[in-house]
Amino acid sequence: MIPLVYDQINHWGKDDEYFLALLKRLQVESIADLGCGTGRWTTHLVQCGYKITAIDPNEEAIEMARSKDNSGNVNWIIGDSADLQTNTYDAVIMTANVAQVFLTDDSWKRVISDVFRSLKMGGTLFLIQETLW
């Protein structure tokens, strides 16, 4: 989806508040936002004090996301799950339609393997499907 259009149709909502509360409950500190797109979630998470690595293969989306972040506390990466650091994150988050880009069993196996490698012991993968209302 074109980054500008994505931001216009996706807004913070009740489902976002639910997952933010869940992150707090699990005492998450470091997060990888895999498929961060335009940084809709990333920019909210960094404002809440989380240590964030934001990864997306779309350079235009990453540039738009960077322009929203004045914290300087996000590690923005143009890339994919292979760029996740080993044993680093309390949580890896994949929001919206990110999971829909993995069309084969092999691509899913690679992503899940990369995520597992990147999580600290007891870490959590969140697959968050956003709703458009």
Mean per-residue pLDDT for 98-106? 71
The pLDDT value given to residue 89:
98
Query: If pLDDT is split at 50, 70 and 90, which confidence band does 99 have?
Result: low
Mind listing the pLDDT tens digit for each residue in 18-60?
Answer: 888 999 999 999 999 999 988 988 998 999 999 999 999 999 9
Q: Check pLDDT > 50 for residue 133.
A: no
Helix (H) or strand (E) holding 52: strand 51-56
Interstrand relation of 74-78 and 89-95 (parallel, antiparallel or unpaired):
unpaired
Mind listing the pLDDT tens digit for each residue in 108-125?
Answer: 899 999 999 999 999 999
Distance CA 68, CA 109 (A): 33
Q: Kindly report the backbone phi and psi dihedral angles of residue 34, in degrees, each rounded to the nearest multiple of 5, phi listed first.
A: -85, 120
